[in-house]
Amino acid sequence: MGLFNAMTNYAHKSELRESKDEIVCGLIVAGLSHEGWRPFRITADADKQTMGFKIPGDDVLSAVYLMVDRRSGSGSISQTMGSRTVIGFTAEMRNKVTDPDDLAIMWKTDFANLFRMPVAGEVRINHQLNTVNARTYHLVNLDDYVKGATVDTSALLPWIVQQVNSLKEQLRPLKK
């Protein structure tokens, strides 16, 4: 009986350790919902979660997407390296009409982006017909925010809002 309990305790702790990214995602969804953002897209696979939000009344953005992609693997690797995670931000803007001249310029920019190495913190503008996306990503250590099952969102949520606002200003001149 004791061995069974020890095994299940170990498995439980391991599960919680592996759940740091989900724990953070839960707090992000709840925290941003209280900011008035409306979650409308939630997808997840083994290591990557994407959350999409609408921001009612925003004059530029049609949607915002946050991607949490855990990179440091599991078990002993996580314990030694910490929970290295990429948080990606995509701010999406839609123009109602795009003319062919706009598309030619957009494809030129997007083509040039193909050959650029992604750098953390760098902002990239990508176009998809009427939709223009500004993206950036940052490498963070989730252990800075998650202690056991407790998450300190006092710094995390304002930082997320700040990142989105920064992307929004990149898109504003392209808004028609």
Partner 1 sequence: MIEPTQPVHWVDAGGQQQGPAPLSTVVDQVKAGQLPRSTHVWWQGAENWTAIDRLGLDLGQPVAATASAALMSGMSDQELDDAFIDLVGRSWEMYKETEFATSIDEAMLGGVITALVDCGFVLIDMETASLWAGAAGSHRLRFEEPADHSRVNVSLQHLTPDPAVAKMIGHRASAVIGYGQRVPEFSKVGNAIKQEMQSSFIASPEPGTVTFDADISSGYVYAQIDLLLEIERYVDDHLDVDHDLLRRHVASVIYTMKTFIQARFGGQ
Minimum distance, C-beta of residue 116 to partner 1, in the bound complex (Å): 30
Looking at the Cβ atoms of 54 and 84, the one nearer to partner 1 is 54
Tokens of 33: 């919902």
Residues making contact with partner 1 (CB under 8 A): 1, 4-5, 7-8, 11-12, 15-16, 19, 22-23, 25-27, 29-30, 33-34, 38-46, 49, 51-52, 54, 56, 96-97, 148-151
Given the structure tokens 């808004």, which residue do they identify?
175
Judging by beta carbons within 10 Å of its beta carbon (0-12, 13-18, 19+), is residue 126 exposed, middle or buried? middle
What are the tokens at 58?
């925003």
What is the Cα–Cα distance from 90 to 123, expressed in whole angstroms? 10
DSSP, collapsed to helix, strand or coil, labels residue 156 as helix
**Smallest separation, CB 137 to partner 1 (Å):** 20
In angstroms, the Cα distances linking 120 to 84, 103, 112, 135 are 13, 27, 18, 10
Smallest distance from partner 1 to CB 8, Å: 3
Return the number of the residue (59 or 116) whose C-beta is nearest partner 1. 59
Task: Give the nearest distance from C-beta 119 to partner 1 in angstroms.
Answer: 29
> Could you tell me the two tokens for 173?
């001149």
Beta strands 131-141 and 124-128: pairing type?
Answer: antiparallel
Given the complex with partner 1, which of 5 and 114 has the nearer CB atom?
5
Tell me the closest approach of the beta carbon of residue 5 to partner 1, in angstroms: 6
* Sequence-separated (6 or more) residues with CB below 8 Å from residue 102: 95
Nearer to partner 1, 67 or 123 (CB): 67
Closer residue to partner 1, CB minimum distance, 1 or 117: 1
